[in-house]
Amino acid sequence: MNSQTLRDTAQALFAGNKGLLAMDESNGTCNKRFASLGIPQTIEARRAYRELIVTTMGLGECIGGAILYDETIRQQRSDGTPFVKVLIDAGIIPGIKVDTGAKELAGHPGEKVTEGLDGLRDRLAEYVRMGARFAKWRAVITIGDGIPSWGCIEANAQALARYAALCQEAGLVPVVEPEVLMDGEHTLEQCFEVTEEVLREVFCQLYTQRVMLEGMILKPNMVLPGSTCPKQEAIDEVADETVNCLLRAVPAAVPAIAFLSGGQSAELASARLNAMNVRFKSRLPWALAFSFARAIQQPALELWKGQETNVLAAQQALVHRARYNQAARRGEYSAEMEKR
Ligand code: 13P
């Protein structure tokens, strides 16, 4: 492992107030999103959609890295240029999702553990040969009646740490994603408590597995009330609670925290990230950035609808959302920008 390379990559991903674009939906998730808009769920439709994304003009000015999926990293633009080369030429660093999905955790009804450690060293070596410079692994934690259990938190944290150590050995920056899900009626306070507990255990396991914190990225959820909780806090309160939670649990050596959007609307995700940077940016040890999938892609996907004639409009919507989030990193986003 070359630790300077890992540090340099981690810095480069977020230089210029850029962030990450997660375009690593598994085929199942991508098909589900396509089905809800009447788009055919075929390999060619998925390829065409990813071509739309990677060929968007100006994307490299606001996106520092794009996370691909195993199918996508092997695909090409219609003229035969590999997506990886298209991204690199646009100044976007290619990354890859390497977990194989969250499965039911035995003995823990309603809870999941993410799989994918078997054979991971060999798969990482192949992705490095293809041009990937960073990787992602997502663990999911559900808040509900009597859950999350300690068994679920510990198993997921340990898998994240073992994945992260293997990535660094291979020269890839690990994006460590423990996602406390928004689904449910739980309160913001409950989300705070669970997120803090999960992050503490994740960093404990990362330390145990000798992961170099300067060469990794944390991708957490924001601290939010459950999506069906009757009390929905204001943007500034969400910003304060999220940053306070992270300050308690995330070591200062971590260079950047890049949030997932988790099902928030695109506007709210931008506004909440903006509020965090407005209120705290000058006092934080790490950059606060974004690694959104839905909160960047959704408006574009809804415009595209699988039609060639809609590609340009969809690309414009995509780059607008990426720019708004770049502005949110600077603390310069406003809802007014959406109306221009
Ligand atoms: P969302 O921003 O849509 O939550 O996706 C982020 C992600 O990469 C999930 O793993």
Q: Whose alpha carbon is nearest atom 10 of ligand 1?
A: 138
Classify residue 240: in a domain, yes or no: yes
pLDDT-based confidence at residue 215 (cuts at 50, 70, 90): very high
Between the CA of 21 and the centroid of ligand 1 the distance, in Å, is 9
Pocket test for ligand 1, best of 163, 291, 325 (most atoms within 8 A of CB): 291
Between the CA of 295 and the centroid of ligand 1 the distance, in Å, is 8
Q: What total number of domains does the chain contain?
A: 1
**pLDDT computed for residue 86 by the predictor:** 98
Of 137, 62, 40, 11, nearest to 332 by C-alpha is 62
- Spot the catalytic one: 18, 97, 136, 219: 219
Classify residue 339: in a domain, yes or no: no
> Would you say the CB of residue 293 lies under 6 angstroms from ligand 1?
yes
Tens-digit pLDDT profile for residues 51-87? 999 999 999 999 999 999 999 999 999 999 999 999 9
> Would you say the CB of residue 266 lies under 6 angstroms from ligand 1?
no
Tens-digit pLDDT profile for residues 12-26? 999 999 999 999 999
Between the CA of 17 and the centroid of ligand 1 the distance, in Å, is 19
Classify residue 336: in a domain, yes or no: no
111, 148 Cβ separation under 8 angstroms: yes
> Would you say the CB of residue 261 lies under 6 angstroms from ligand 1?
yes
Could you confirm whether 308 is annotated as catalytic? Answer: no
- The neighbouring-strand residues paired with 74 are none
Of all residues in the chain, the percent with pLDDT exceeding 70 is 100
Domain span at 267: 3-329
Residue 296 CA: nearest ligand 1 atom is 2
**pLDDT computed for residue 335 by the predictor:** 92
Alpha helices in 115-228 (DSSP H): 120-130, 150-170, 188-208
Distances (CA, A) of 261 to 146, 192, 325: 25, 16, 11
Tens-digit pLDDT profile for residues 90-145? 999 999 999 999 999 999 999 999 999 999 999 999 999 999 999 999 999 999 99
Classify residue 335: in a domain, yes or no: no
Could you confirm whether 97 is annotated as catalytic? Answer: no
Lookup: tokens for 22:
């997660």
Classify residue 253: in a domain, yes or no: yes
Average pLDDT over residues 234-247: 98
CATH number for the domain spanning 215: value is: 3.20.20.70
- Spot the catalytic one: 51, 177, 196, 241: 177
Average pLDDT over residues 302-328: 98
> Would you say the CB of residue 22 lies under 6 angstroms from ligand 1?
yes
> Would you say the CB of residue 114 lies under 6 angstroms from ligand 1?
no
Instruction: Name the average pLDDT for the chain.
Output: 98
pLDDT-based confidence at residue 1 (cuts at 50, 70, 90): low
Q: Under DSSP, is residue 286 helix (H, G, I), strand (E, B) or coil?
A: coil
Of all residues in the chain, the percent with pLDDT exceeding 90 is 99
Classify residue 334: in a domain, yes or no: no
> Would you say the CB of residue 260 lies under 6 angstroms from ligand 1?
yes
Between the CA of 259 and the centroid of ligand 1 the distance, in Å, is 9
> Would you say the CB of residue 294 lies under 6 angstroms from ligand 1?
yes
Cα 124 to chain centroid distance, Å, stands at: 19
21, 142 Cβ separation under 8 angstroms: no
Helix (H) or strand (E) holding 274: helix 266-280
Task: Reply yes or no on whether the pLDDT at 315 is more than 70.
Answer: yes
pLDDT-based confidence at residue 340 (cuts at 50, 70, 90): confident
Q: How far apart are CA 2 and CA 263, in angstroms?
A: 36
Average pLDDT over residues 152-174: 99
CB atoms inside a 10 Å sphere around CB 122: 10
Between the CA of 67 and the centroid of ligand 1 the distance, in Å, is 10
Classify residue 242: in a domain, yes or no: yes
Task: Reply yes or no on whether the pLDDT at 233 is more than 80.
Answer: yes
Of 211, 114, 100, nearest to 153 by C-alpha is 114
Task: Reply yes or no on whether the pLDDT at 200 is more than 90.
Answer: yes
Classify residue 298: in a domain, yes or no: yes
pLDDT-based confidence at residue 339 (cuts at 50, 70, 90): confident
Task: Reply yes or no on whether the pLDDT at 254 is more than 90.
Answer: yes
251, 306 Cβ separation under 8 angstroms: no
